[in-house]
Amino acid sequence: MFGILTTDLDRSLLSIRTGQKPRFELRDDALELVGLPIHPDPRTFLALHPPGVRSYFAALALRQVRLWAGGGDGTEIAYRRDEKQELNRRILEATVDEAARRELPLLFVLFYDAYDLEKSGWREAFLRAEMERLGAAYLDTKELIVRRTAERSVPWADFYRATDAHPSASGNRAIAEALALEWKSGRLAQRSPHTD
């Protein structure tokens, strides 16, 4: 199983999130793993590699301009969108190809932040289109949660923790049940994923 959160498309470009992290970059039209080794002390790493922001006020102003250009929706800011899509397209292709090479079943699980349930954006459209293009098996947790809320007449917020927008116990149970059905169905073994 390979889990992807819609905002992972943005995070794939980051060298630091809550700490230093490895990442892929496209170099000479190929994926290259960078950001290793991980420094054992995050404070020392940040001292050696301070943020490149010269003015936090200027950074905030630039973000506000990008937000305005995105129609006021922070999730739809187009900043580096083409780069994010190309890098993630290559990562998905490499994942599918590696699973096929090893003759392993592969199931992508598409996760969403709670606010993604009320709208659809470019990240969701991109991930679904890539799953179809690659012929990859996937479980779309948005469809699952939307369906469950309708069936049980409960708000979608019941499926997310209020503290960090991760799935709650109810959300995890619904996803686990759907995953079990997917594995038991045998459909994964029948899929012929994309290979170049």
What's the confidence (pLDDT) of residue 188?
64
Residues 100, 172, 77: CA angle, nearest 5 degrees? 75
What's the confidence (pLDDT) of residue 137?
92
R_g over Cα of the chain: 19
What's the confidence (pLDDT) of residue 191?
53
Residues 106, 107, 108: CA angle, nearest 5 degrees? 120
Angle between helices 141-152 and 169-185 (to 10 degrees): 110
Outline where 32-121 has alpha helix (H): 42-48, 56-69, 81-101
Distance CA 25, CA 147 (A): 37
What's the confidence (pLDDT) of residue 135?
95
Distance CA 90, CA 88 (A): 5
Partners of residue 2 on adjacent β-strands: 108
Partners of residue 17 on adjacent β-strands: none
Domain boundaries, the chain: 2-190
What's the confidence (pLDDT) of residue 156?
80
Give the residue from 170, 164, 109, 182 showing the smallest Cα distance to 145.
170
Distance CA 82, CA 76 (A): 13
What's the confidence (pLDDT) of residue 97?
96
Partners of residue 160 on adjacent β-strands: 167
Question: Per-10-residue mean pLDDT for the chain, 196 residues long?
Answer: 93 86 94 92 86 80 78 72 96 96 94 84 94 95 90 85 86 93 75 50
